[in-house]
Amino acid sequence: MKRHLLTLGILATTFCVDAQPPEVPHARDLVVKAIFDGERPRPQTVAQPVVPYRRVNAIGRYGHEVTTDDGATWSVIAGSNWQVYRTWDVNDAIVIFPVNSSWMWGAKYKLYNTHKRNEVYANLTVGPIIAGPCTNENVYLDYANMQLTLQDGQGNQTLWYIDADDTSEYYKWLPNEAVIVGSNEKMELQTKSKCGYVLINVARNKYVRADLAAY
C-alpha cells in the first residue's frame, strides 16, 4: 500500500526545485503555464465553515500513534498519549488544528477528539494512502488568483481560497500532492488569520490558511 511521503530534510518529490540548475525553468512556472491554458469558473462567495472531521482508524500500542481514515499516521507527543490509550476508540471523530507555540513539546498539530472532548499534541509521520478514498490531492493550482482545487479518491472536488499572507508558501506547492484539511476555528490569535481552515501539504509538512468556496 503506497503512501504519500513527507519531507524529512530532503524534498520527497519529483519536482525538487532546489536541485535544479539556475538555467532550468522553475517547476512552478511550468505548472502555471499549463493551468492558464484554459478558463475555469471562479466562485466569489465563501462557504460557511464546517468542522473537517477525520476518523480514528487505528491506535498504536500505548497510544503513541494514531492512524486516521485517510491512512495518515500521527505520532503523539509523550505525556499526552495516555489519553489516547485509555479513552480513545476506533471511529472517534477528531479535528486537526495547527500549533504555532514552540513550547508545545515540538508538536506542529493538535488532535481534538470530539467524542471524548479531549486533545493531544502530535506530529504527522506517515502520509495518507495514495489515491485512497479519503485522501485529498491538489489537482488544480491557480497561483494568480490564490485558489486551489482538491479532489478526493472518490472524485469529489472542492475549491479553496488561500490566504494572501500565505502566497510564498503556496507558490511552492505542486500538483498531485496530498493535502489534509484541518480547522482554524478559534485559532485566529495563533495563526493570525480569520480563515476557517488550514490545508496541510503532506510532502512539505506545512500548511496554508484557507476558506472553502461556495458554489
Residue 198 pLDDT > 70, yes or no?
yes
Q: What is the DSSP letter of 85?
A: H
- Percentage of the chain surpassing pLDDT 70? 73
The pLDDT value recorded for residue 79 is 78
Q: pLDDT digit string (tens) for 42-98?
A: 445 666 667 899 999 999 988 899 999 999 999 998 877 888 888 999 999 999 999
Torsions phi, psi of 207, nearest 5?
-125, 160
The pLDDT value recorded for residue 49 is 62
CB under 8 A, 24+ apart: contacts of 129-135: 129/1, 129/2, 129/3, 129/4, 129/70, 129/71, 130/2, 130/3, 130/4, 130/178, 132/70, 132/71, 134/54, 134/69, 134/70, 134/71, 135/4, 135/70, 135/71, 135/178
Q: pLDDT digit string (tens) for 139-184?
A: 999 999 999 999 999 999 999 999 999 999 999 999 999 999 999 8
Residue 213 pLDDT > 50, yes or no?
yes
The pLDDT value recorded for residue 82 is 82
Residue 1 pLDDT > 50, yes or no?
yes
Report field, pTM of the whole predicted structure over 0.75: yes
Q: Residue 215: pLDDT band by 50, 70, 90 thresholds?
A: low
Q: pLDDT digit string (tens) for 100-124?
A: 766 667 789 999 999 999 999 999 9
Q: Residue 7: pLDDT band by 50, 70, 90 thresholds?
A: low
- Nearest residue to 153 via CA among 137, 173, 170, 165: 137
The pLDDT value recorded for residue 26 is 39
- Domain range summary for the chain, segments of one domain joined by +: 24-49+131-214, 54-126
